Amino acid sequence: MAGIGRILDCNQLVGERTTSQILETWKDGIFLKKEDITRNSKGLRSPQIGAIYATLSHWEISADPATVVMPTGTGKLRLCYRC
């Protein structure tokens, strides 16, 4: 989450907490569950998980906006709703 912290103004107040306090609650709290159709287990598809990791990796080294490009049928809309 360090990369995201560099993008945000960490002293900005959101409700009763600063953005840095909110980011601290996310530490070790984000888990990506992969879909398993053989077990009827819902989750994210491989391209969706890859897109999330690629975006987070980008934000670890840059504060620039990230553009995610995914092929047709890989679940772009579903990914946006989950994030």
pLDDT by residue, tens only, the chain of 83 residues: 455 555 555 667 767 888 778 777 877 777 788 999 899 988 888 888 888 888 888 888 887 888 888 888 887 776 666 55
Cβ contact 59:7 at 8 Å: yes
Tell me what pLDDT residue 83 has: 54
Same domain, 37 and 77: yes
Same domain, 72 and 61: yes
Same domain, 43 and 81: yes
Same domain, 62 and 80: yes
Number of domains observed in the structure of the chain:
2
CA-based nearest residue to 48, from 59, 34, 62: 34
The DSSP letter of residue 32 is: P
- How many beta carbons lie within 10 A of that of residue 51, not counting itself? 21
Give the domain extent around 62.
Answer: 31-83
